[in-house]
Amino acid sequence: MMTPLLQVALGGAIGASARYLSVNAYIRAFGTGFPAGTMIVNVLGSFLIGIVVVFLARKELTHISPLLMTGFLGGFTTFSAYSLEAYTLFERGQMGSAALYAVGTVVLSILALIAGVMLTRMVLA
């Protein structure tokens, strides 16, 4: 039986490759005007993690969660894990925490990206 770490590594390699191929196929077909390829991958990954989390639990297959959820879907899009975590808070009735997590993650991630871009541009200038 494969260890959880090996499951994550294998699933991540496959998921990241699938993301790369999917986004590039979209770009070849429609161009780069709007990052819809990435958006589609994120939405699809969120949809798939919703299916997988319930399916694995109901079929008592949680031992392959590292392969499919953390590995494949985490490699395909980390947005799927974010969506699941926000929904879990919501489902638990923790509306304030769910809202803070959902909005905070997006806002802070964008701010962090801007900070990284600015810092790197300053260092490399």
Q: Annotated binding residue at 70?
A: no
CA distances from 72 to 6, 12, 16, 50, 99 (A): 12, 5, 7, 14, 27
* 96 CB-side CA count, 13 A: 0
Q: Annotated binding residue at 74?
A: yes
**Alpha-carbon gap, residue 101 to 89, rounded angstroms:** 9
Q: For residue 102, which of 36, 46, 37 has the smallest C-alpha distance?
A: 46
Q: Which two tokens stand for residue 93?
A: 């009735």
Binding-site entries: 74, 77
Q: Residue ranges for the binding site for Na(+)?
A: 74, 77
